[in-house]
């Protein structure tokens, strides 16, 4: 389970694909301002923890997440649902939608998914 700082790095890698420390650091620089070696150290620790893998065939190593984004997101969501929403995913979903505006397209995509879920369980 990644920490906050680790998640910020994962988010960059999810968005930009496999990257060097320099690339990740520059991407983070927009928001954070930390020393380059801080990002490096974090990514070294993450590699040791098994969160990242790296290709060392180049002088600047290229890092990628070990697990797919969906899997990590799933774990994070499950943790939050259990910790703060009594295990109810729907309650979390409603709180999320009331917190941040979603576009019409996203809302419709979500509706489609709900219909599908209803159809799956509705066989009784």
Q: Per rule CB under 8 A, is residue 34 in the interface with a second copy?
A: no
- Contact between 39 and 28 (Cβ < 8 Å): yes
d(CA 20, CA 43): 10
Cβ at position 12, least distance to a second copy in Å: 11
Out of 15, 22, 51, 60, name the contact with a second copy by CB under 8 A.
15
Task: Determine, following the binding rule CB under 8 A, whether residue 57 of this chain makes contact with a second copy.
Answer: no
Name which of DNA, a second copy, none residue 59 binds, using a CB cut-off of 5 to 8 Å depending on partner kind: DNA
Which of a second copy, DNA, none is residue 101 near (CB under 5 to 8 Å by kind)?
a second copy
- Are 19 and 12 in contact by the 8 Å Cβ rule? The answer is yes
Geometric angle at alpha carbon 33, from 49 and 79, rounded to 5°:
40
Binding segment for DNA (CB under 7 A), chosen from 2-10, 11-19, 65-73, 101-109, is: 2-10
Q: How far is CA 45 from CA 6, 26, 36, in A?
A: 9, 19, 14
Instruction: Considering only the stretches 10-18, 41-49, 75-83, 99-107, report the one whose residues sit in contact with DNA under the rule CB under 7 A.
Output: 41-49
Q: Which helix (H) or strand (E) holds 75?
A: helix 69-84
The pattern of x and - marking residues 60 through 79 that bind DNA according to CB under 7 A reads xx------------------
């Amino acid at each position: 389970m990644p920490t906050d700082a680790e998640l910020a790095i994962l988010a960059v890698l999810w968005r930009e694909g496999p990257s060097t420390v320099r690339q990740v650091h520059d991407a983070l620089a927009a928001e954070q301002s930390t020393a380059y070696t801080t990002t490096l150290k974090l990514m070294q620790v993450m590699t040791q923890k098994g969160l990242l893998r790296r290709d060392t065939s180049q002088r600047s190593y290229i890092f990628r997440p070990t697990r797919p984004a969906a899997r990590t997101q799933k774990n994070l969501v499950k943790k939050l649902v259990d910790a703060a929403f009594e295990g109810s995913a729907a309650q979390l979903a409603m709180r999320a939608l009331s917190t941040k505006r979603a576009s019409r397209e996203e809302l419709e995509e979500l509706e489609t998914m709900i219909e599908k879920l209803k159809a799956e369980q509705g066989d009784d």
